[in-house]
């Protein structure tokens, strides 16, 4: 590693909390699917900011929208209207097929918003007695890092020392509709699920699960909340991962790619009978729905309206699947692919996910491990088929170096 990079990492080690364990690469610039470090080495980005960069680094349309807005007005707060807000909300509502949206910033804030809205809907519309509403969640979930959200996580690292925990959540097995049915009570306001569990290792539920959740929630007057923060906005080959089962949840929770890789933008989308429960002063954020975020978000919606990225995710996904398939039995135990998104389980006897990601880094590929020996691949959708083939060839060579046959 160049001294420059080492010195920069040292500064971060000394002066930032150690709440992350980044790979030892210091990125200085990026374009499309590639990033360049401070020493001029290039890496193929196969993480894409956990899908925040679905459209690649520096997409010209997104940058043009941001630049144009930067020169006009960037922040007014929600105390006033601005000319990007109404159009952004209307265009995002149209993309989701819902009446209205609540713009926020981070994904966790959007999840918190959905939780608050569900509880209030539960009291005002469903008639659940005050303070008794519950929300059903799934084992293995990842919805963010706030105190309420980690309260219903089963990841010890995320949760352990952060109690006391927020009550009102019931956790059931992921992928099991009957477990949800059994857990529903008159106090249940909502079921919150990821249509595909991203942090869990790109866990794709059994076919019919989303339809089953839709049916059982509708049957019991319970809201279905789909956290599409990582799975949505083109990643899986459809605008929303729920589309794969033709399921329309009551509430979409969106984030990551909505900000075009430029600025944090998240949102909750639902119909007026649900989001209409919010009244002035009950919820908000200084930065949520700011002019820059709305201008960027509008450019993202325009990119998704063409369907080109969704189609590309399908095509690239076939390449990814074909390439990964050859590695099974050669260091890879199993893999899951949906669109251009893969969870790859490395033979734990061979290496941890972290070790594989370090080896990939040395070969010019950025990827991220999750839970033990799983790595996930989520390259920007501007990547080419040849680049995917090259990336998986690097993975094959890394596994061979680690002793795979």
Residues acting as catalytic residues: 142, 227, 256
Sketch the per residue contact string, 99 through 118, with ligand PLP: x for CB under 6 A, - otherwise.
-------xxx--x-------
Distance spanning both ends of the chain, measured CA to CA: 30
Q: In the bound complex, what is the minimum distance in angstroms from residue 92's beta carbon to ligand PLP? A: 17
Q: Both tokens of residue 100?
A: 């209205």
Q: In the bound complex, what is the minimum distance in angstroms from residue 11's beta carbon to ligand PLP? A: 24
Q: Does 331 bind ligand PLP (CB under 6 A)?
A: no
Helix, strand, coil % over all residues of the chain, rounded to 5? 40, 20, 40
The position carrying tokens 């009957």 is 178
List helix spans (H) across 236-351.
272-275, 291-305, 308-325
Q: Does 47 bind ligand PLP (CB under 6 A)?
A: no
Sketch the per residue contact string, 131 through 170, with ligand PLP: x for CB under 6 A, - otherwise.
-----------xxx--------------------------
CB 309 within 8 A of CB 273: no
Q: Which of 45, 112, 194, 250 binds ligand PLP (CB under 6 A)?
A: 194
Q: Does 340 bind ligand PLP (CB under 6 A)?
A: no
DSSP-derived 3-state class of residue 191: strand
Q: Does 191 bind ligand PLP (CB under 6 A)?
A: no
Which H/E stretch holds residue 170? strand 169-172
Q: Which CB sits closer to ligand PLP, 52 or 66? A: 52
Give all strands of the β-sheet with 374-377 in edge-to-edge order.
Answer: 332-337, 342-346, 374-377, 368-370
Q: In the bound complex, what is the minimum distance in angstroms from residue 187's beta carbon to ligand PLP? A: 24
Q: Which of 168, 195, 255, 379 binds ligand PLP (CB under 6 A)?
A: 255
Q: Which CB sits closer to ligand PLP, 227 or 387? A: 227
Q: Both tokens of residue 218?
A: 């509708």
Stretch that binds ligand PLP, among 192-200, 277-285, 317-325, 333-341 (CB under 6 A): 192-200
- Residue 348 sits at the vertex; the CA angle it makes with 346 and 354, to the nearest 5 degrees, is 65
CB 56 within 8 A of CB 381: yes
Q: Which of residues 196-235 bind ligand PLP (CB under 6 A)?
A: 198-199, 227, 229-230
Residue of 71, 68, 162, 166 whose CA lies nearest to 116:
166
Q: In the bound complex, what is the minimum distance in angstroms from residue 149's beta carbon to ligand PLP? A: 8
Q: Which CB sits closer to ligand PLP, 108 or 375? A: 108
Q: In the bound complex, what is the minimum distance in angstroms from residue 39's beta carbon to ligand PLP? A: 29
CA 181, chain centre distance (Å): 26
User: Residue 10 and residue 4: Cα distance in Å, rounded?
Assistant: 10
CB 297 within 8 A of CB 258: yes
Q: Which CB sits closer to ligand PLP, 263 or 274? A: 263
Residues found near ligand PLP in the complex (CB under 6 A)? 50, 106-108, 111, 142-144, 194, 198-199, 227, 229-230, 255
């Amino acid at each position: 590693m160049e001294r420059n990079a080492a010195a920069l990492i040292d500064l971060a080690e000394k002066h930032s909390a150690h709440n992350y364990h980044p790979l030892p690469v210091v990125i200085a610039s990026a374009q499309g699917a590639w990033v360049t470090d401070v020493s001029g080495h290039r890496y193929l980005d196969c993480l894409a900011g956990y899908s925040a960069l679905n459209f690649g680094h520096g997409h010209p349309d997104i940058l043009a929208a941001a630049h144009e807005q930067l020169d006009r007005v960037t922040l007014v707060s929600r105390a006033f209207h601005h000319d990007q807000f109404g159009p952004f909300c209307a265009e995002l509502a149209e993309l989701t097929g819902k009446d209205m949206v609540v713009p926020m910033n981070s994904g966790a804030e959007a999840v918190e918003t959905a939780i608050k809205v569900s509880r209030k809907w539960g009291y005002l519309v469903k008639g659940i007695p005050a303070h008794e509403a519950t929300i059903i969640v799934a084992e293995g979930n990842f919805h963010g890092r706030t105190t309420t959200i980690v309260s219903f996580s089963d990841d010890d690292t995320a949760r352990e020392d952060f109690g006391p925990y927020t009550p009102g959540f019931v956790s059931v097995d992921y992928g099991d509709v009957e477990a949800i049915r059994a857990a529903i009570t008159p106090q249940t306001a909502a079921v919150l699920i990821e249509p595909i569990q991203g942090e869990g290792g790109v866990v794709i539920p059994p076919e019919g699960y989303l339809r089953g959740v839709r049916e059982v929630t509708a049957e019991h007057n319970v809201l279905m909340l789909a956290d599409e923060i990582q799975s949505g906005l083109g990643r899986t080959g459809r605008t929303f991962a729920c589309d794969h089962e033709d399921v329309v949840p009551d509430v979409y929770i969106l984030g990551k790619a909505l900000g075009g890789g430029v600025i944090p933008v998240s949102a909750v989308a639902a119909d007026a009978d649900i989001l209409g429960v919010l009244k002035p002063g009950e919820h908000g954020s200084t930065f949520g729905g700011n002019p820059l975020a709305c201008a960027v978000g509008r450019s993202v919606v325009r990119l998704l309206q063409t369907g080109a990225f969704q189609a590309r995710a399908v095509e690239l996904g076939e390449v990814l699947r074909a390439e990964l398939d050859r590695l099974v039995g050669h260091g890879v135990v199993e893999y899951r692919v949906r669109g251009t998104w893969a969870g790859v389980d490395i033979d734990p006897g061979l290496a941890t996910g972290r070790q594989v990601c370090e080896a990939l880094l040395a070969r010019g590929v950025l990827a991220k491990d999750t839970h033990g020996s799983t790595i996930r691949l989520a390259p920007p959708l501007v990547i080419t088929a040849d680049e995917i083939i090259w990336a998986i060839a690097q993975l094959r060579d890394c596994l061979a170096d680690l002793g795979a046959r």
